[in-house]
Structure 1
Amino acid sequence: MPAIPSFAAMPDENGFFGAYGGQFVPPHLKQIMDGINAAYDEIRQREDFQQELASLFADYVGRPSPIFHARRLSEQLGGAQIHLKREDLNHTGAHKINHCLGEALLARFMGKKRVIAETGAGQHGVALATACALVGIPCEIHMGQVDIEKEHPNVTKMKILGCKLVAVTRGAATLKEAVDSAFEEYLKDPEGTIYAIGSVVGPHPFPRMVRDFQSIIGREARAQFQQKHQRLPDYVTACVGGGSNAIGMFTAFLEDEAVHLVGVEPAGEGLEKPGRHSATLSKGHPGQLHGMACYVLEDAQGQPAAVHSIASGLDYPGVGPQHSYLKDTGRVQYDVASDAETLDAFITLSRVEGIIPALESAHAVAWAIRTAPTLSANQHILVNLSGRGDKDADYVAARLGL
């Protein structure tokens, strides 16, 4: 097996991870992106910024999030031991608060008058509305009408937190359309507004910036696992839509050759059904979307394809450029879990361990449930449980007739 390359210097100065990333935007918008990049480079070197962020992580978010050994689930399955990195215990209920705090602090530092963003499942929207309330900046969230109806608890939270919620009814009325709508609104005033992208996607510097803020997950997990077990896990897995929680977890392990990294995409209703899955890395090909080069799912006309996932936060026809690079290098294996498997994992984890996972996170749990019986009892799978399932409980109960 060839030696694993060093990933420490990525992306390059132009925002590329190999052939992926960059800034595929009009010249005037490139200037804006370069300004955000310069401000980020400045603020990340400041001790006062790092201290404020660390303090908020500890006293506001509740970090470090613990690692839980799912003993009963592991015993029932046989084979490998399953462990959960409990990002669901963060304030606002998911990993999204990690980068939203960073983006809100950056917006304040840059003197921006408004923060705008998209959301799918609503976790990014809730987290960003929370962070903006904390720093005192108005917040506008664009969300597909389908997701508004599906994720009503998060919609209510966003309204309580004081953000302006824009319902997007065009097209499929899900995440991709929410991104389009938010970006169009952002272009009306890019000088006074910052677009707080909700994943490791979009033009440079957002894939790097969101990754950096989310990398706290993997740094904590690596140290915690070593302290408790005097070794590293054999497998580390996370769900992948845009890819922020997965990159946040994987980054600390990229140069640990013995650790197998597995990203789990939505197979939806089947990979053989175009438009009914969101498995971008498994079924897509290199292209461009939303200002970046990445793997893309396209239709016969070369446009972003219709996509589907039971998890609103994963139905996106692109993926982060670093994930695209990691697929090509083979450093990360990208697998899939279907809607049916995900629902089963959602219920299984809830009833065996008393933990209700987000449907997004349940994709990674499904992979662990499928894989653990094929491994030995002295092997360990670490799952990034990226969010809790409060937002999905009514939807799942209705779907299953509970």
Structure 2
Amino acid sequence: MSANYFKNYPNKDGFYNEYGGAFIPPQLEEEMKKINDAYFAISKSHKFIAELRDIRKHFQGRPTPVYHCNRLSQKYGGQIYLKREDLNHTGAHKLNHCMGEALLAKYMGKKKLIAETGAGQHGVALATAAAYFGLECEIHMGEVDIAKEYPNVQRMKVLGTKVVPATHGLKTLKEAVDSAFEAYLKDPVNSIYCIGSVVGPHPFPMMVRDFQRIVGIEAKDQFFEMTGELPDNVVACVGGGSNAIGMFSAFLNDDESKLFGIEPGGKSLDTLGDHAATMTLGKPGVIHGFKCYMLQDENGEPAPVHSIASGLDYPGVGPEHSMLKDLDKVTYDSISDKECIDAFFELSRLEGIIPALESSHAVAYALKLAKENPKQSILVNLSGRGDKDLDYVIENYGVPE
């Protein structure tokens, strides 16, 4: 990739080659331009950068460590390492961009943060940011996910956030995005839509990527300090793709590190609606104001999706990921629900780390790679902790003896 990659992508219109852009109602065009202009102005500002760095260090607890999984490596082969984003404040990588977006909202004079959430991690992170900056917050969440991720719903409410159920369609992540966009359209002047991944209309995929780049920057330096070389393989789960793009961004110019983005294979790849393997089985389309690979029904509309991980059950994917797939810079593959659950318990029992179900997809793929390549190193972005998933996993899968 070009040394000027981050200056070249996206282009001035928000496109990553053919993907991205802003396919939005006319009343939003001016607001998106204001957000874009404000971001470019303050992201170059020493005051903004200094405040964000202070937040990351003293509030979030960054840098998060890289950890070598000794027992997991002994059992499966290879040398498996985890970037411990589960140790970031609120328990996932989401706070990296939420604090940045909320800081941007503060500089713009916005009074209210609006967002969607699937697994609830983005919702908790944005609720945390709103409390930190003294802003109102409204989180839209599918009814199915509200029931599934009850602990995170309670955390959002404790933090002072209003949780709005999305009651149409499949009542999951796509519907939560629909609902949040509708709420934002009612008052775009006083509110800002803080998208929870590298998706949506420009400039959001770019902004979220830039705020998440800290993950890859830290991990690359930490891994080199620990081993004296770069990892042979870098693995991250992909729904919208924020944790993955944050990790991959540091390695795009390093041919010695192979990059793997892991999607939900769900119950089966054979039936539409039983998985959320967008990159594996989707084709280009427009969803939620941007162009990307998308799972589509017979009418070209976003297809129903399924994943055991609420944060991954989205029929689209980030436009930058779509471009990286076409350029063969990242290999996109899938992991089934069963493989995900097996990895959830393996990491818990062998290393004392309970991972989020989203992150468990990446862990499961790392175990496969370790078996196939016993002499190689594997760096996994452990994007979140699994507290939120415990009740759901135990209720539906029990606890193995």
Alignment of 1:166-315 (within 5 A): 166-315=164-313
Per-residue CA distance 1:92-149 (angstroms, 9 max, x = gap): 0000000000000011111112110000000000000000000000000000010000
Per-residue CA distance 1:263-314 (angstroms, 9 max, x = gap): 0000000110110100001000001000101011111121110000000000
Equivalent residue, structure 1, for 2:395: 398
Identity across aligned pairs (percent)?
Answer: 61
Q: The residue matched to 2:165 in structure 1 has which SS?
A: strand
Per-residue CA distance 1:340-373 (angstroms, 9 max, x = gap): 0000000010001110000000000000011101
Alignment of 1:138-149 (within 5 A): 138-149=136-147
Q: Could you tell me how far 1:243 is from its partner in structure 2?
A: 0.2
Q: Could you tell me how far 1:5 is from its partner in structure 2?
A: 4.7
Distance 1:232 1:88 in 2: 22
1:158 equivalent in alignment to 2:153: no
Equivalent residue, structure 2, for 1:365: 363
Equivalent residue, structure 2, for 1:15: 14
Distance 1:27 1:359 in 2: 38
Q: Which of the residues 374, 383, 387 maps onto 2:380?
A: 383
Amino acid of the structure 1 residue aligned with 2:241: G
Amino acid of the structure 2 residue aligned with 1:36: I
What TM-score do the two structures reach when normalised by structure 1? 0.98
Q: Could you tell me how far 1:27 is from its partner in structure 2?
A: 2.3
The total of aligned residue pairs comes to 397
Distance 1:181 1:26 in 2: 15
Q: Could you tell me how far 1:28 is from its partner in structure 2?
A: 2.4
Q: Which of the residues 325, 328, 332 maps onto 2:326?
A: 328
Q: Could you tell me how far 1:57 is from its partner in structure 2?
A: 0.4
Per-residue CA distance 1:18-67 (angstroms, 9 max, x = gap): 00001111222111111100000011011111011001101111100000
| Structure 1 runs (4+) greater than 3 angstroms displaced | none
Equivalent residue, structure 1, for 2:54: 55
Equivalent residue, structure 2, for 1:77: 76
Show structure 1 runs of 5+ residues with no match: none
Amino acid of the structure 2 residue aligned with 1:39: A
What TM-score do the two structures reach when normalised by structure 2? 0.98
Amino acid of the structure 1 residue aligned with 2:19: Y
Which range is displaced more, 303-312 or 25-34?
25-34
Distance 2:373 2:175 in 1: 41
Equivalent residue, structure 2, for 1:26: 25
Distance 2:244 2:220 in 1: 14
Distance 1:399 1:164 in 2: 29
RMSD across aligned positions (CA)? 0.8
Alignment of 1:36-47 (within 5 A): 36-47=35-46
Show structure 2 runs of 5+ residues with no match: none
Q: The residue matched to 1:104 in structure 2 has which SS?
A: helix
Alignment of 1:110-125 (within 5 A): 110-125=108-123
Q: The residue matched to 1:171 in structure 2 has which SS?
A: coil
Per-residue CA distance 1:360-388 (angstroms, 9 max, x = gap): 000000000111011133x2000000000
Distance 1:5 1:43 in 2: 25
